[in-house]
Amino acid sequence: MKWITAAMAATTAAMAFAGAAQAAALDQFKTFVASTKSARGEFTQHQVKNVGGAAKTSSAASGTFEFSRPGKFIWTYLKPYDQLLQADGEKLYIYDKDLNQVTVKKLGDALGSSPAAILFGSNDLEKNFTLSEGGTRDGLEWLTAVPKAKDTTFEQISIGLRNGTPEAMELKDNFGSMSVLAFKKFEKNPAVSASHFKFAMPKGVDISQQ
């Protein structure tokens, strides 16, 4: 479940505005949200934990993502195992192929102040997050998003931006661990239909309603 929680990231899921020089992260992010109604691409993800005072990095997971605002997305882990998070605008389906189980949640409850709300939710991000500039690092302009709700899994989300495209996201949880995501082959506004995000329940799976 640790990859699922981080993916709820989903995830995924990032931001920016192209210019002769890098615009401030907040400006890039707001332009990205306003101009990007759908997107798809690839991601890698790993976790960094503090073990005995030393940072320990997990093996990387990788996969693909697609989204269409508001609240429709497909986030697929291909390595090291198959796992799917899919939302149709009303419900979130988490399909664990190894366990042959699908967990179904109401999308509003599942998104809220989660990282997935940044990429896949509405444009009203400042309702759930306090946004601020995070400085320049690794050639990226960084935005810091702190959830306003106190009962979220993540205490801080950092988003790295360059040339109008999301390139990185860091998700710091309440236990001192951090999930690090990198995005590539980011395609903005591909043509996708609403039916594309309708989940097809696999035959014979165990279904858990939450």
Whether 195 maps to a domain, the answer reads no
Q: pTM score > 0.85 for this model?
A: no
Q: How far are the Cα atoms of 107, 123, 175, 181 from residue 43, in angstroms, in the given order?
A: 22, 23, 24, 7
For residue 57, what is the domain's CATH number? 2.50.20.10
Instruction: List 104's β-bridge partners, or say none.
Output: 93, 209
Tens digit of pLDDT for each residue in 86-114?
Answer: 999 899 999 999 999 999 998 876 665 56
Whether 205 maps to a domain, the answer reads no
Distance (Å, whole) CA 121 – CA 196: 17
* Structural domains of the chain, count: 1
Averaged confidence pLDDT in the chain: 83
Whether 198 maps to a domain, the answer reads no
- What residue numbers bound the domain in which 165 lies? 2-190
Tens digit of pLDDT for each residue in 136-172?
Answer: 999 999 999 998 887 778 889 999 999 878 899 999 9
